A and B are shown apart, each in its own frame.
Chain A
Amino acid sequence: MKKLLILGGGTGGTIMANKMRHELEREEWEITVVDKEKTHFYQPGFLFLPFGHYKKQDVVKPKNNFIPNGVNFIVQLIDRIEPENNQVVLADGVVLRYDYLIIATGTRIVPEETPGLTGPLWKKSIFDFYTPEGAIALANFFKTWQGGELVLNIADMPIKCPVAPLEFVFFADAFFVERGLRNKVNISYVTPMSGAFTKPRAAKVLGALLEEKNIHIIPDFYLERIDTEGKKLVSYDEREVPFDVLITIPVHKGDEVIESSGLGDDMGFVKADKHTLQSVDYKNVFVIGDAGNFPTSKAGSVVHFQADILTENLLCAIESRPYTASYDGHSNCYIETGFGKGALIDFNYDTEPLPGLFPLPGIGPFGLLQETRMNHYGKLLFRWIYWHILLKGKEMPIDTKMTMAGKKL
């Protein structure tokens, strides 16, 4: 039997297990997925937890529900990847050999990277919402908070879902308006980027939305440490921002196993070809999603588009044919803007987010780079699509490659 091994059973690992089980003969190929967790988290749902829109049970399901028949699922920490020997060692000492390896171990937040962040204020007046524990602790905090300086800070890029911090402050604005507290809450958006978003057209539209909602943006702020006594953010160029409650998006890294196996860059992201998705160091190793050093968003939509490309290229590799699929960096993100509205951006390695209609030119129903009710429904619907269509690797009515149709230059 030949062996396909998939490391990580999150969004990417699960989709690939479904797709490859469909493609590869059962008599010839054994497929195994390893993940340290039994539970699958719907991560985009974490954004809704602090404001009580979702409860924890809305964002979790057993991973087993999504691993198809005919695929082995092992719940265990991955300790080491040994690509020279084509094998992976688990924390309990079990050795798994492979013919092909897919790395889908995602990214993790490392708040310990910033001095003071996980000090005495952690989960008391400093919260993250990128973990379910952090998001739920914040929900409890907000229940009784009476107002003050609310600061959201992005410690560094890249981060998962680069629009989630914006959505957070839009939601916070609406949340405190609805509670009659908005005049007591000052909201600041402190970012290492030069604006609300990196790409000019989107930065302009989203920056205007921040202003309209009276959210102060403090750009080019690169966090060095937290002054825990003074309750201040301090940047490397010695600027200070005081806070009463800090919502942190901590530094992101790849999983430890990537670093210790020598497959990663200095942040532990696997070095991979941005078009073929193949590891730059090993021919039988491929990467999908947040775990890679791809210069595009770390987002579920990216994982979804990459899955089509990876399936095709993996089959090419197995059958010793030249690669026929090339990933273009396509990313597609709904942005919640509060009060039942949302925006949508669609872009790739070469084309920045542009206004227009999506996915059908002239029809939509979604509006690109504009605030509409329909976009908000798109985001809500996405949770259902995620559990029922996306993870199972089924077809979706969106092209893998970005298209210019429907976009206005």
Chain B
Amino acid sequence: MSQKVFAGTTVDVNEEGYMTDSTQWTKEIAKEIATEENIDLTDKHLAVCEFLRDKQSKGENITIRSVGNSGIIDIKGFYQLFPGAPMKKAAKIAGIPKPASCV
């Protein structure tokens, strides 16, 4: 396990850069991770992050479709917010593990 400094705070991350302790997460940290992913974080991004964190804390499955069903954004919009690999990028920025629902 390694550590990284975001917004002046040291957080635990794994080899792929996902935070391993989601309680260390703050919006400021999210903003800096987003910058690393070439994303300029907006309230819409944050709303998606909060949704994912909520699902994760309840132990529920996290899927792209569930984001599409969340009422925050549709799937197309999700792809536009987090281009390329939306689920992986959004999870990283939300400070939760890479979604593993797909076993």
Contacts and interface: CB of A to CB of B under 8 A. Distances in A.
Nearest to A296: B103
Interface stretch (A32-40, A179-187, A263-271, A363-371): A263-271
A111 interface: no
Given A158-B61, A237-B83, A295-B61, A266 B66 contact: yes
B1 interface: no
A198 B100 contact: yes
Contacts of A194: 85, 88
Interface in A139-186: 156-158, 162
Contact of A198 (B65, B75, B83, B102): B102
Chain B CB within 10 Å, residue with most, of A158, A199, A236, A296: A236
Nearest to A155: B65
B59 interface: yes
A267 B61 contact: yes
A347 B100 CA distance: 14
B63 A157 contact: yes
Contacts of B76: 224, 236
A274 B61 CA distance: 11
Contacts of B79: 222, 236-237
Contacts of B102: 157-158, 162, 192-193, 198
A224 B100 contact: no
Looking at chain A, what size class is its interface with the partner chain? 20 to 34
B13 to A, nearest CB: 17
Contact of B65 (A199, A267, A274, A296): A267
A210 interface: no
A66 B88 CA distance: 44
B61 A156 contact: no
A293 B60 contact: yes
Contacts of A237: 79, 83-84
A220 interface: yes
Contacts of A222: 64, 75, 79
Contacts of A198: 100, 102-103
Nearest to A273: B59
A245 interface: no
B69 interface: yes
Nearest to B66: A266
A251 B75 CA distance: 15
Given A158-B102, A198-B102, A293 B85 contact: no
Interface in A255-302: 265-267, 269, 271, 274, 293, 295-297
Interface of B: 59-61, 63-66, 69, 75-76, 78-79, 83-85, 88, 100-103
5 contacts: A192-B102, A194-B85, A220-B84, A220-B85, A265-B60
